[in-house]
């Protein structure tokens, strides 16, 4: 961690920490928001075969609903982070969850495909800003050498959603109708707003906080490269996960009753990857990112070969889920390179994540529509993971060249 980063961390800590703060309760409140967001984000993918029939569209077309949510995240994260620069983080978190609750309730009531697209876009707007601000609050309340693990505990809400929330939403969608899968998320979002109000300590605005200062993150090359790693590299996981329910039904030919079990297995992998990613990011951030991308490419390559057998595909889905730990690593990397534009950079990580969420399903749907079959999403995923690895190599080289240039200037001055 650089001296500037350490100074910035200390400033945030002073502004947020209060003597009465109980870290476990704060992280639980923040993680509940992750649980709500994770449930709606991933449940929408698992419910795709059901709401496509309910709205009278085919499954590749229904994939646009997933992309609409992702586009909302991409657009909403930077705009909210900049415009809300003079709003305290606790107040912002409560407001974001309130909007999220209303948007998901509207999604549950959507009368047509067009309205569903609009409401899913609206639902995505608070997503990135919530996770970005929640990550900063969690990191600010933790020792510098454990900040990535604190962020990972917040993100556990999302991963546990893939174990519990998504299977439950999928079951409700099958038993009661797909609209219940979105309605339950609205209730979770209301619960989050109440928990944040109760447990997250009041904070003060950062000295000099302004939209202009936040926009300073966009001037930093390493910020853009880190975002590029996520925007491309994460797409592989989403290319497969979006259509995994359809693959299980059409290729593996399992009973719909088994879908929640396989989705929960993915969640177990995502949880394991998040915990390992938080630990690895605190040790060596960039090597951890490269290792995660290689892991993703390898596990995605196994998917086409495993799709014919329920036991094999369950194992591979677990391995693919483990690659999701990349998100924690990149979130930590952005804290290191964003300097004093922390909020925008943290929120943009989720814009990148959901750029991948839009890119992966779109490319996977194109491969399926072109006649390459449901398992072709695995090869699409491999290509995207390797693309992210290429951006990682560029970022690593740029970082080393910049460090060498700084040492050279210091030597000449000395």
Q: Which tens digit of pLDDT belongs to each residue from 274-319?
A: 889 888 888 888 999 999 999 999 999 999 999 999 999 999 999 9
Half-sphere exposure of 30 (CA within 13 A, CB side): 31
Ranges under pLDDT 70 in the chain: 1-21, 54, 205-214, 216-217, 340-341, 410-411, 413-414
Whether 412 maps to a domain, the answer reads no
Half-sphere exposure of 319 (CA within 13 A, CB side): 19
Whether 222 maps to a domain, the answer reads yes
DSSP-assigned letter for residue 21 = -
pLDDT digits (tens, 9 = 90+) for 28-40: 999 999 999 988 8
Q: What is the separation of C-alpha 47 from the centre of its chain, rounded to a whole number of angstroms?
A: 19
CATH number at residue 143: 1.20.1250.20
Burial label for 414, CB within 10 Å (0-12, 13-18, 19+), is exposed
Whether 413 maps to a domain, the answer reads no
Whether 172 maps to a domain, the answer reads yes
Whether 120 maps to a domain, the answer reads yes
pLDDT digits (tens, 9 = 90+) for 68-117: 887 888 888 888 878 887 788 889 999 999 999 999 999 888 888 888 88
Whether 8 maps to a domain, the answer reads yes
What domain count does the chain have?
1
Q: pTM of this prediction?
A: 0.75
The H-assigned helical ranges of 179-243 are 179-199, 211-215, 221-233, 235-241
Q: By C-alpha distance, which of 172, 178, 157, 174 is closest to 44?
A: 178
Whether 139 maps to a domain, the answer reads yes
**Whole-angstrom Cα distance, residue 129 to residue 125?**
8
Neighbours of 106 (CB within 10 A): 18
Whether 203 maps to a domain, the answer reads yes
**Residues 107, 52: contact at Cβ < 8 Å?**
no
Which residues span the domain enclosing 268? 3-407
């Amino acid at each position: 961690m650089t001296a500037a980063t350490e100074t910035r961390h200390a400033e945030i800590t002073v502004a947020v920490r209060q003597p009465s703060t109980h870290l476990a309760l704060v992280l639980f409140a923040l993680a509940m928001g992750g649980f709500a967001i994770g449930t709606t984000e991933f449940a929408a993918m698992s419910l795709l075969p059901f709401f496509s029939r309910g709205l009278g569209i085919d499954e590749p077309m229904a994939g646009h609903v997933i992309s609409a949510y992702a586009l909302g995240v991409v657009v909403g994260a930077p705009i909210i982070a900049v415009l809300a620069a003079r709003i305290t983080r606790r107040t912002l978190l409560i407001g974001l969850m309130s909007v999220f609750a209303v948007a998901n309730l509207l999604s549950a009531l959507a009368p047509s495909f067009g309205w569903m697209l609009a409401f899913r876009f609206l639902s995505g707007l608070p997503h990135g800003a919530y996770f970005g601000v929640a990550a900063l609050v969690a990191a600010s309340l933790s020792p510098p050498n454990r900040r990535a693990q604190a962020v990972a505990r917040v993100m556990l809400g999302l991963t546990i959603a893939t174990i519990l929330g998504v299977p439950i939403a999928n079951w409700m969608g099958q038993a009661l109708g797909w609209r219940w899968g979105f309605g339950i998320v609205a209730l979770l979002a209301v619960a989050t707003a109440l928990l944040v109000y109760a447990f997250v300590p009041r904070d003060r605005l950062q000295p000099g906080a302004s939209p202009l200062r936040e926009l300073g993150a966009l001037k930093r090359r390493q910020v853009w490269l880190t975002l590029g790693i996520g925007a491309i590299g994460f797409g592989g996981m989403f290319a497969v996960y979006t259509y995994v329910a359809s693959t299980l039904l059409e290729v593996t030919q399992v009973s719909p009753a088994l879908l929640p079990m396989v989705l929960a297995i993915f969640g177990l992998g995502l949880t394991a990857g998040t915990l390992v990613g938080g630990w690895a990011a605190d040790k060596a951030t960039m090597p951890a990112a490269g290792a995660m991308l290689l892991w993703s490419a390898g596990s995605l390559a196994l998917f086409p070969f495993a799709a014919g057998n329920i036991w094999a595909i369950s194992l591979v889905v677990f391995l693919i889920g483990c690659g999701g730990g990349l998100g924690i690593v990149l979130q930590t990397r952005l804290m290191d390179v964003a300097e004093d534009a922390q909020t925008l950079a943290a929120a943009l990580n989720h814009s990148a994540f959901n750029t991948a969420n839009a890119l992966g399903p779109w490319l996977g749907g194109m491969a399926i529509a072109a006649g390459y079959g449901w398992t072709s999403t695995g090869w699409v995923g491999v290509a995207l993971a390797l693309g992210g690895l290429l951006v990682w190599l560029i970022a690593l080289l740029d970082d080393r060249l910049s460090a060498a240039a700084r040492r050279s200037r210091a030597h000449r001055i000395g």
